[in-house]
Structure 1
Amino acid sequence: MQKLSFEGQVAIVTGAGGGLGREHALALARRGAKVLVNDLGGAVDGSGASVSAAQKVVDEIRAMGGQAMANGASVTDFAAVQAMVQQAVDAWGRVDILVNNAGILRDKSFAKMQMEDFRLVVEVHLMGAANCCKAVWPHMQAQNYGRIVMTTSSSGLYGNFGQSNYGAAKMAQVGLMQTLAIEGAKHNIHVNALAPTAATRMTEGLMPQAVLAALKPEAVVPAMLVLAHADAPTRTILCAGAGGFEAAHITLTQGVYVGAGEDAAEQLAAQLGAVTDRTGEQVPQSGAAQGQLEVGKAMAAQSASV
């Protein structure tokens, strides 16, 4: 089995001053990548800033013979993100890999949540990822190569009490992934998403100690390496934790045709079980698949009535 190599490649990992991001940065460096380690150096809720966390990881990489640089930009600041990408390009000539890992938590039930806390979490996770993608995109297009890994979450894919802001932002990254993968295909830019279950600063208060012990951040890293590699798939959501790996899919059922008559709502209510039946469901290759399926059913019904 050939070892996954990143020799000669340049990677940017955001939120890499600790936890999962640190493990991503170290793993890429061990396998030959030059790594720009980005971290604002703030608290879990996003307050404060210090480049010392990123520099510590850079020192670790250099100590093992790798090449790395620190960067303390906030991913919410597009100008700072552009400067971060330029820093990597100036030093190493290119950017091959972007791992969007930066994030914060401001957990509360929706009833008690301040909208400012909702907005800020979306700003960091969604706009932060979009800013970083936008900054690396022209470089990846020009070199006809790129690998982008979004960090989604089971909270976004499936929901989690007290995380409406975080879940919304994480699911939005999947939507961003879907379209960027389509648009990037002609330039050999593959875009994927990783849904990690890992014990980090952000999960310390959410799980029992015995569970946290099993969920070491490094157990998630293999999925990131697969998604960031030259042989990576594209538009894939990999879930990873405690050494287990799964794939998540957004699917479309075959559904039914009820028409648009006055009783369409009643017919739909009566046939909702058939609509949600997952037999023969598909994983659409683009949003057009929904319209094609619906128009197809309408045309078939029209032909049948003639």
Structure 2
Amino acid sequence: MTIRYDDRVAIVTGAGQGLGRSHAIELAKRGAKVVVNDLGGSKDGTGSSSEAAMAVVAEIEAAGGEAMANGANVANYAEVEAMVAAAMEKWGRVDILVNNAGILRDKSFLKGSMEDFQLVLNVHLMGTVYCTRACWEIMKEQEYGRVVVTTSSSGLYGNFGQTNYGSAKLGVIGMMNTLVQEGAKYNIRVNALAPTAGTRMTEGLMPEKMFELLTPETVTPAVLYLASEDSPNRTILCAGAGSFAVAKIVETEGCWLKPEEQTPEGIAAHWDTITSPEGERALVGGFEQTGKMLTQAAAGLGISLE
């Protein structure tokens, strides 16, 4: 069955170039009305221009689609609210939000300034918070919403010189995990994209042959799936060069230690059991970890939790 978005309204941030442009164009091709948001700044977040967003809108309209440009800075909540209000005024609903906008201020932890660190957090993490918050009540009232946050292998696994970026990119996963719970009964699903793409943000960081394989167009199918009516929920979908995978945060089964072993020495003595991958699993909420540990403690102590 072909996935389409007829009568759906999508907001794509950072959609003037690269990944966001590809996401916006393909959503529009499949019937969505699209807000093409782009501040129009350079990759380090400086400057602004509406030209890139307007060019994407023109491309969408030339292909028979509907779109509007918006230059809101995602790190400014008032501007984000105005963007969502403009979409509501024009089309009356917001069904899909793709949080894609981002900047880079790469430097090793000691060499990077705290101002740059804060700026990267403001754009990537708070920008995602602001855009999602501005759409959340609308999605709740219409009992439909598909939110995509953009994480990164730098957040999931680390990358030299990207402490600020990695912190923000793992932050959106924490946001996703809770919003999934809060949005469930309103048919709001929240997922994460972990893209690997050759864009202006990664240009010069890899050999040309690799760069050419990592086109934004090979990543966008993942967004189209996560934004669809039958999307998964609480999933980190990794995409790049036509390959797709799912990343998971798992917890080992671990073990309960007797009171006399509940010491750093006891942990060291049982380290192999504590870290054993046998029985490890992805938990679906903080309460599940608490329940697991209480169950182990009750069994060890021979008591009932009833």
Shorter-normalised TM range: over 0.9
Equivalent residue letter for 1:53: A
- The residue aligned with 2:187 is 188
Percent of matched pairs sharing the same residue: 57
* Matched-pair contact (CA < 8 Å) for 2:24–2:36: yes
* Matched-pair contact (CA < 8 Å) for 2:16–2:56: yes
- The residue aligned with 2:244 is 245
Cα separation, 2, equivalents of 1:170 and 1:205:
21
- The residue aligned with 1:99 is 98
- The residue aligned with 2:275 is 276
Alignment of 1:27-106 (within 5 A): 27-106=26-105
Equivalent residue letter for 2:271: L
Shift of residue 273, structure 1, vs aligned partner: 2.0
- The residue aligned with 2:294 is 295
Shift of residue 261, structure 1, vs aligned partner: 4.1
Equivalent residue letter for 1:276: T
Offset from partner CA, 1:62-81 (integer Å, 9 cap, x none): 01010000000000110110
1:256 matches 2:260? no
Equivalent residue letter for 2:155: G
Deviates more, 1:261-270 or 1:65-74: 261-270
* Matched-pair contact (CA < 8 Å) for 2:189–2:233: yes
Cα separation, 1, equivalents of 2:165 and 2:78:
24
Shift of residue 3, structure 1, vs aligned partner: 1.1
Cα separation, 2, equivalents of 1:185 and 1:263:
39
Shift of residue 269, structure 1, vs aligned partner: 1.3
- How many residues are matched? 303
SS at 2:138 equivalent: helix
Shift of residue 56, structure 1, vs aligned partner: 0.8
Question: After the TM superposition, which parts of structure 1 deviate over 3 Å for at least 4 consecutive aligned residues?
Answer: 259-263
Equivalent residue letter for 2:114: M
Cα separation, 2, equivalents of 1:115 and 1:260:
43
SS at 2:302 equivalent: helix
Offset from partner CA, 1:123-145 (integer Å, 9 cap, x none): 10000000000000010000000
Offset from partner CA, 1:13-41 (integer Å, 9 cap, x none): 00000000000000000000000000000
Shift of residue 205, structure 1, vs aligned partner: 2.0
Alignment of 1:92-131 (within 5 A): 92-131=91-130
Which 5+ residue runs of structure 2 have no aligned equivalent? none
Cα separation, 2, equivalents of 1:261 and 1:208:
56
* Matched-pair contact (CA < 8 Å) for 2:35–2:67: yes
Cα separation, 2, equivalents of 1:87 and 1:261:
63
Equivalent residue letter for 2:188: I
- CA 1:269–1:51: 2 relative to 1, 3 Å: same
SS at 1:166 equivalent: helix
Shift of residue 260, structure 1, vs aligned partner: 4.8
* Matched-pair contact (CA < 8 Å) for 2:5–2:228: yes
Offset from partner CA, 1:102-136 (integer Å, 9 cap, x none): 00000011121111111110110000000000000
SS at 1:176 equivalent: helix
Which 5+ residue runs of structure 1 have no aligned equivalent? none
* Matched-pair contact (CA < 8 Å) for 2:261–2:267: no
Equivalent residue letter for 1:145: Y
TM-score of the two chains, using structure 2 as the length reference: 0.97
Deviates more, 1:108-117 or 1:181-190: 108-117
- CA 1:115–1:266: 2 relative to 1, 3 Å: same
TM-score of the two chains, using structure 1 as the length reference: 0.97
SS at 1:83 equivalent: helix
